[in-house]
Structure 1
Amino acid sequence: MLTSTLNKLYDYLNNESKDRVCKGITDEACNHVASNFFTILFTHTFTKLGDTLSNPKTVLTWLMNYVNAPVFLISLIVPIRESGALIPQVAISNYVKKKPIRKYIWVVGSIIQGVAIAAIGLVSLHFDKKVAGWLIIVCLIIFSLARSLASVSSKDIKGKTIPKTRRGRLGGYTSSFSGILVLIAGLYITYTSKTTENIQFYTNLIFFAASMWIIASVIYASVKEFPTPIENEAGEQNSIADNLKLLKDDKHLRDFVIARSLLLCSALSAPFYVTVAQNSVKDTSYLLGLLIISNGLASIVSSPYWGKLADKSSKNTMAYAVTIASLCGLILFLIITFAGDFKTQLWLYPIAFFVLGVAHSGVRQGRKTYIIDMASGNERTNYVSVSNTIIGLILLVTGGLSAVLSLVSVESVILALSIIGLLGAVKSYRLPNVEKTTGDTN
């Protein structure tokens, strides 16, 4: 009964009326597409909600301010959380490729992430100032390493269990469903923060976020995954060096990594939007909730569209989305610089954050679908790990440069990142299509 219901719902969501589309996966995996689709959807919905409620750009920044952590430690949380999850992936991929069944790697990574986030809540309750700041940094490092495990394995599992032309839609529905939960959370935070905003309030958010990864790990364990062929030991020798050499030998991968590097503007811009808002608006008590609401609405409104577009052309999705992010940044820069009256308006920043959220959702859907559709099997694992490791290093460099540029003005960072984004749009548009065109129109 449940299987029949899931099959009907899957066919409805993906407009399948006849034979099921199973491009890029085995016949054995094709029999379990519907159940795997919803298992992954619910799992990633929970982890996305956890990500939002422990976001370093908003919630963790507020939390560290409450414990009076040093400003220089607060500036480290975004680069550590993002880069720490990306840089180790070439090394981690060697471990992943030795495992025929890889879902349990994701499960372990998810559990460790949940424990690390819960530890941040405990640290915030019992420590303050520099001690709290450093302990939170340590927890974030552990979180990021666990995130590496989950990232490398999840894209490979998604590629093994979900067919081409359906992977983008899965990402879109996931972002949309999680956006609904994020919207509810944002409304709650907005409603309660005016009267109950204190350290207990924020740590409760953190503990709730931690539980999302634990719940997700239980659900993900039920994914129907079939064994991947294992490379022999000779093929593993010097694999880190060989994987990195892919950038030199594989022009397609190299062009994708360059394009993805330029797309970082949509992620790096967000904390500077928040900083401008905090510096410009007098009463910021509602600000955190409003920004979370904006982010949730952006996912609900845009993610299904981006997901379907990514299944048709993921490289165009990247190009269109980063163009929106760049134009948003340019307009905000002009308003901040030349329209002083608008600069102090509270409503300006949730709207700007909404537009940026729409754009960033498209960038994420496009690049994730593109890298999954570029290859299959262990080659996909190599591509994901190499690109993520390089992006992690670039993120550290660009994050550092942005921090230096912010000493001049926050507005100048937004302008610079917007210009970089336009270059990313051009580079993304010039990438080759990786979605195979067939007679299927679903």
Structure 2
Amino acid sequence: MSDATAPASGSRGSAALGETLYDILTGEQQGRVCRDIPEAACNDQPGNFLKQVAALGLTKAGDGLADPKLVLAWLLGALGAPAAAVGFLVPVREAGALLPQLAIAGWIRSRPQRKWVWAVGSAIQGLCVLAMAAVALTMEGAAAGWSIVGLLGVFSVARAACSVSHKDVLGKTVSKATRGAATGSATSISAAVVLAFGAILALGLLPVSVGVVAGALCVAGVAWILAGLVFTTLKEVPGATGGGGNPLAVAREQADLLRKDPQLVRFIVTRGLLVGTALSPPFLLALAGQSGGKALGTLGPFVIASGLAAILSAHVWGRLSDRSSRRVLMLSGLVGATANATAALLGGLAPHVFGGGMTGMAWLLPVLLFVLMIAHQGVRLGRSTHVVDMATAETRAAYTALSNTIIGAWLLVGGIFGVIAEAAGVPMTLALFALMCLIAAFIARGLKEVQAE
């Protein structure tokens, strides 16, 4: 008798623990609210919420361990890859994950359960990162560099499918009042992993070698595969499949949303200007005299600053986004403008005031990066929550794909900022990023309070 009842008791205990964790992370101790999700999904919401946090936490940890701006850039340099291959890492990673979304949104829309798209996409990303580790251990030179860039391209296309499908699954499984908290909690958890990785490198607990970095990539790859397995256990109610069809026809139809919805246009413009928070960190490193990630061991303070910013701010930004993603975007723009403007001012004045450039003031730059990454976390969580909440179940996938495609094209133009920095100097480039963030905060004022609707 005791053997028969033990599993049921254990199951009830696990369910109670899950309910407690859900209440803590969402602050819904006063009663659960189900907004903008199918009625059949309401009872499954605590479990779905925690599975979303677990899956996103694993993939975001993988993002930090395989960061193209730092980890992959250093790896290609250590392998003797050509500079052109290193230069392609960030554009391939960012634009490659965004540009295909408009074309594949219709196909994803034709799937009644989109969790399988996300799970397969996550597994493909994991396999690509594991393959990068194998390349690092067996190849070198141009062959290694271009092989990793090619794998990153496949990785990015799989990520595009995950991005479109996830917004839709999130909208079907997690209440409108708690979506930001799910994303924010996952970001905080993953940031702890990245912070530990940065501390290990900064303190010299492990040698900064190809083998160690390949090991980090292996951990990241396994994390993506595990995330896909977790995601398959979500209880997703089958959704409408209308809107699937020829990708070009679907793309034309979705592009017409720009004419029909001025709020979508305003959101995309705001998001496009806020890329200043994402593009400026390398220029802060340039002020510090770093070499764009090749001396990874000396970048410990910057990695730690980035990790701390995510840990301390992500969950807070997520909760604030559930109340007003519009205000989060405004505040993030103002914080990003302040950090970039301060860095630009220091960089411009340092040669005249401190003589030796930023050498005597270099300790300020990780602090400014910390502030800047707090702003960037707000941008990421604010924009993600806003696009999900402003759309309906019928338009959510299309809104996500359309906005991501436009931003992907804009990011391809982002290389012009390197030309500006070379011609006018890094401080002038940072000042331009500050102006972009400031204008974005002003434009975001006109966004609707979608959480109040």
TM-score by length of 1: 0.93
The Cα RMSD (Å) is 2.1
Instruction: After TM superposition, give the deviation of residue 236 of structure 1 in Å.
Output: 8.2
Match of 1:440 in 2: none
1:116 aligns with 2:132: no
Q: 1:237 to 1:304 in 2, by over 3 A?
A: closer
Instruction: After TM superposition, give the deviation of residue 94 of structure 1 in Å.
Output: 0.8
1:343 aligns with 2:358: yes
| Equivalent residue letter for 2:27 | N
Whole-angstrom CA distance in 2 between matches of 1:355 and 1:233: 42
| Equivalent residue letter for 1:243 | Q
Mapping for residues 21-420 of structure 1, pairs under 5 Å = 21-192=33-204, 196-231=207-242, 238-279=249-290, 286-340=297-351, 341=354, 343-344=358-359, 345-397=361-413, 399-408=414-423, 409-420=425-436
| Equivalent residue letter for 2:87 | S
Q: 1:348 to 1:263 in 2, by over 3 A?
A: same
| Equivalent residue letter for 2:311 | I
Instruction: After TM superposition, give the deviation of residue 14 of structure 1 in Å.
Output: 2.1
Match of 1:3 in 2: 15
Whole-angstrom CA distance in 2 between matches of 1:280 and 1:11: 45
Whole-angstrom CA distance in 1 between matches of 2:378 and 2:410: 21
Q: 1:16 to 1:73 in 2, by over 3 A?
A: same
Q: 1:234 to 1:364 in 2, by over 3 A?
A: closer
- Cα deviation code 1:330-359 (max 9, x no counterpart): 111111221244712552332122111111
TM-score by length of 2: 0.91
Contact 1:280 1:343 in 2 (8 A): no
Whole-angstrom CA distance in 2 between matches of 1:64 and 1:414: 27
Q: 1:254 to 1:126 in 2, by over 3 A?
A: same
**407-416 vs 23-32, greater mean Cα deviation:** 407-416
Secondary structure (helix, strand or coil) at the match of 1:132 reads: helix
- Cα deviation code 1:247-277 (max 9, x no counterpart): 1222111111111111111111122223333
Instruction: After TM superposition, give the deviation of residue 321 of structure 1 in Å.
Output: 0.8
Aligned residues: 434
**123-132 vs 210-219, greater mean Cα deviation:** 123-132
**422-431 vs 401-410, greater mean Cα deviation:** 401-410
Q: 1:150 to 1:218 in 2, by over 3 A?
A: same
Give structure 1 regions of 4+ aligned residues with deviation exceeding 3 angstroms: 232-237, 278-281, 283-286
**269-278 vs 132-141, greater mean Cα deviation:** 269-278
| Equivalent residue letter for 2:83 | V
Instruction: After TM superposition, give the deviation of residue 313 of structure 1 in Å.
Output: 0.8
Instruction: After TM superposition, give the deviation of residue 322 of structure 1 in Å.
Output: 1.7
Runs (5+) with no aligned partner, structure 2: 1-11
| Equivalent residue letter for 1:108 | V
Instruction: After TM superposition, give the deviation of residue 12 of structure 1 in Å.
Output: 2.9
Instruction: After TM superposition, give the deviation of residue 285 of structure 1 in Å.
Output: 6.0
- Cα deviation code 1:210-235 (max 9, x no counterpart): 11101111111111101002217789
Whole-angstrom CA distance in 2 between matches of 1:280 and 1:19: 52
| Equivalent residue letter for 2:384 | K
Q: 1:66 to 1:236 in 2, by over 3 A?
A: closer
| Equivalent residue letter for 2:416 | L
Secondary structure (helix, strand or coil) at the match of 2:31 reads: coil
Contact 1:278 1:284 in 2 (8 A): no
- Cα deviation code 1:155-201 (max 9, x no counterpart): 110010111121111122111122222222222222336x6222112
Q: 1:279 to 1:176 in 2, by over 3 A?
A: closer
Which of the numbers 16, 29, 35 marks the counterpart of 2:28?
16
Match of 2:9 in 1: none
Whole-angstrom CA distance in 2 between matches of 1:320 and 1:128: 45
**269-278 vs 153-162, greater mean Cα deviation:** 269-278
| Equivalent residue letter for 2:175 | P
Whole-angstrom CA distance in 2 between matches of 1:384 and 1:157: 12
Whole-angstrom CA distance in 2 between matches of 1:72 and 1:235: 36
Match of 2:8 in 1: none
| Equivalent residue letter for 1:127 | M
Contact 2:244 2:250 in 1 (8 A): no
Q: 1:147 to 1:255 in 2, by over 3 A?
A: same
Q: 1:81 to 1:277 in 2, by over 3 A?
A: same
Q: 1:236 to 1:217 in 2, by over 3 A?
A: closer
Percent identical pairs in the alignment equals 35
Whole-angstrom CA distance in 2 between matches of 1:35 and 1:62: 39
Runs (5+) with no aligned partner, structure 1: 438-442
Q: 1:125 to 1:284 in 2, by over 3 A?
A: closer
Whole-angstrom CA distance in 2 between matches of 1:185 and 1:89: 31
